[in-house]
Protein backbone atom coordinates (compact mmCIF):
# COMPACT_ATOMS: atom_id res chain seq x y z
CA UNK A 1 0.00 0.00 0.00
CA UNK A 2 1.37 3.40 -0.95
CA UNK A 3 0.23 6.71 0.48
CA UNK A 4 1.24 10.31 0.80
CA UNK A 5 -0.30 10.54 4.29
CA UNK A 6 2.02 10.78 7.26
CA UNK A 7 0.48 7.85 9.15
CA UNK A 8 1.93 4.89 10.97
CA UNK A 9 1.24 1.53 9.33
CA UNK A 10 -1.42 0.74 11.97
CA UNK A 11 -3.21 4.08 11.47
CA UNK A 12 -3.00 3.64 7.68
CA UNK A 13 -4.69 0.25 8.08
CA UNK A 14 -7.55 1.82 10.09
CA UNK A 15 -7.86 4.60 7.53
CA UNK A 16 -8.16 2.10 4.67
CA UNK A 17 -10.56 -0.12 6.66
CA UNK A 18 -12.98 2.77 7.15
CA UNK A 19 -13.21 3.47 3.43
CA UNK A 20 -15.71 0.65 2.89
CA UNK A 21 -18.46 2.46 4.79
CA UNK A 22 -19.99 3.77 1.58
CA UNK A 23 -20.59 0.21 0.34
CA UNK A 24 -23.62 -0.10 2.63
CA UNK A 25 -25.03 3.08 1.12
CA UNK A 26 -24.48 1.79 -2.41
CA UNK A 27 -26.18 -1.51 -1.55
CA UNK A 28 -29.16 0.32 -0.06
CA UNK A 29 -29.47 2.59 -3.09
CA UNK A 30 -29.42 -0.40 -5.41
CA UNK A 31 -31.78 -2.54 -3.35
CA UNK A 32 -34.24 -0.30 -1.55
CA UNK A 33 -34.27 2.66 -3.93
CA UNK A 34 -34.12 0.65 -7.18
CA UNK A 35 -30.97 2.18 -8.65
CA UNK A 36 -29.90 -1.20 -10.00
CA UNK A 37 -32.29 -1.01 -12.93
CA UNK A 38 -32.98 1.17 -15.92
CA UNK A 39 -36.75 1.62 -16.06
CA UNK A 40 -37.17 2.93 -19.62
CA UNK A 41 -35.34 3.44 -22.90
CA UNK A 42 -35.58 7.23 -22.60
CA UNK A 43 -32.66 9.25 -21.27
CA UNK A 44 -34.85 11.95 -19.70
CA UNK A 45 -37.06 9.45 -17.87
CA UNK A 46 -34.05 7.53 -16.58
CA UNK A 47 -32.44 10.78 -15.41
CA UNK A 48 -35.62 11.72 -13.56
CA UNK A 49 -35.74 8.23 -12.00
CA UNK A 50 -32.16 8.61 -10.78
CA UNK A 51 -32.78 12.06 -9.33
CA UNK A 52 -36.00 11.01 -7.58
CA UNK A 53 -34.31 7.97 -6.08
CA UNK A 54 -31.41 10.04 -4.76
CA UNK A 55 -33.84 12.65 -3.44
CA UNK A 56 -35.81 9.95 -1.60
CA UNK A 57 -32.59 8.57 -0.11
CA UNK A 58 -31.44 12.00 1.06
CA UNK A 59 -34.88 12.79 2.47
CA UNK A 60 -34.88 9.50 4.41
CA UNK A 61 -31.44 10.23 5.86
CA UNK A 62 -32.12 13.85 6.77
CA UNK A 63 -35.46 12.98 8.36
CA UNK A 64 -33.66 10.50 10.61
CA UNK A 65 -31.10 13.11 11.61
CA UNK A 66 -33.83 15.63 12.46
CA UNK A 67 -36.16 13.20 14.26
CA UNK A 68 -33.59 11.65 16.63
CA UNK A 69 -33.89 8.23 15.01
CA UNK A 70 -30.20 8.44 14.12
CA UNK A 71 -27.97 7.88 17.12
CA UNK A 72 -24.40 9.22 17.32
CA UNK A 73 -21.70 6.60 16.93
CA UNK A 74 -18.72 6.53 19.23
CA UNK A 75 -15.56 7.84 17.64
CA UNK A 76 -13.20 5.25 16.25
CA UNK A 77 -10.00 5.19 14.25
CA UNK A 78 -11.88 4.26 11.12
CA UNK A 79 -13.27 7.23 9.17
CA UNK A 80 -16.88 6.07 8.89
CA UNK A 81 -20.23 7.80 9.37
CA UNK A 82 -20.85 9.87 12.50
CA UNK A 83 -24.37 8.51 13.09
CA UNK A 84 -26.04 5.13 13.04
CA UNK A 85 -28.65 5.61 10.36
CA UNK A 86 -31.23 2.90 9.86
CA UNK A 87 -31.73 1.47 6.41
CA UNK A 88 -34.97 2.00 4.51
CA UNK A 89 -35.92 -1.62 5.14
CA UNK A 90 -35.51 -1.14 8.89
CA UNK A 91 -37.53 2.08 8.81
CA UNK A 92 -40.27 0.40 6.83
CA UNK A 93 -40.68 -2.27 9.49
CA UNK A 94 -40.18 0.17 12.37
CA UNK A 95 -42.59 2.91 11.26
CA UNK A 96 -44.87 1.66 8.50
CA UNK A 97 -45.50 -2.09 8.60
CA UNK A 98 -47.69 -2.81 11.61
CA UNK A 99 -50.33 -5.44 12.08
CA UNK A 100 -53.86 -4.11 11.93
CA UNK A 101 -57.35 -5.43 11.39
CA UNK A 102 -59.93 -3.94 9.06
CA UNK A 103 -63.16 -3.85 11.04
CA UNK A 104 -66.65 -2.85 9.99
CA UNK A 105 -68.20 -0.77 12.75
CA UNK A 106 -71.54 0.95 12.21
CA UNK A 107 -71.34 0.26 8.46
CA UNK A 108 -67.97 2.04 8.30
CA UNK A 109 -64.63 0.44 7.64
CA UNK A 110 -62.14 1.18 10.38
CA UNK A 111 -58.51 0.20 10.57
CA UNK A 112 -57.72 -0.93 14.12
CA UNK A 113 -54.20 -1.32 15.44
CA UNK A 114 -53.27 -3.25 18.52
CA UNK A 115 -52.05 -1.23 21.47
CA UNK A 116 -48.26 -0.99 21.51
CA UNK A 117 -46.83 1.59 23.94
CA UNK A 118 -43.31 1.40 22.49
CA UNK A 119 -44.56 2.19 18.98
CA UNK A 120 -46.81 4.99 20.24
CA UNK A 121 -43.86 6.52 22.11
CA UNK A 122 -41.71 6.30 18.98
CA UNK A 123 -44.42 7.95 16.83
CA UNK A 124 -44.87 10.78 19.35
CA UNK A 125 -41.11 11.34 19.63
CA UNK A 126 -40.67 11.50 15.87
CA UNK A 127 -43.70 13.76 15.41
CA UNK A 128 -42.55 16.16 18.13
CA UNK A 129 -39.05 16.48 16.67
CA UNK A 130 -40.30 16.96 13.13
CA UNK A 131 -42.82 19.60 14.26
CA UNK A 132 -40.18 21.58 16.17
Tell me if 33 sits within 8 A of 57, measured CB to CB: yes
pLDDT at 52: 92
User: Are residues 68 and 107 part of one domain?
Assistant: no
User: Are residues 110 and 55 part of one domain?
Assistant: no
Q: Please say if the pLDDT value at position 126 is more than 90.
A: no
Q: How many domains does the chain have?
A: 2
Range of the domain at 91: 1-97
Q: What is the Cα–Cα distance from 3 to 101, expressed in whole angstroms?
A: 60
User: Are residues 110 and 90 part of one domain?
Assistant: no
Q: Please say if the pLDDT value at position 130 is more than 80.
A: no
User: Are residues 92 and 112 part of one domain?
Assistant: no
pLDDT in tens, 54-108: 999 999 888 888 877 888 888 777 767 788 888 888 888 888 888 888 899 888 9
Strands (E), 3-94: 71-72, 83-84
User: Are residues 12 and 24 part of one domain?
Assistant: yes
User: Are residues 23 and 33 part of one domain?
Assistant: yes
User: Are residues 102 and 92 part of one domain?
Assistant: no
Amino acid sequence: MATNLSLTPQMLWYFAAGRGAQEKTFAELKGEFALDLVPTNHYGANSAWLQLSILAHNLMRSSQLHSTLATPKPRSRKPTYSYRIASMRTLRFLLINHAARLARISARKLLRFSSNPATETLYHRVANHLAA
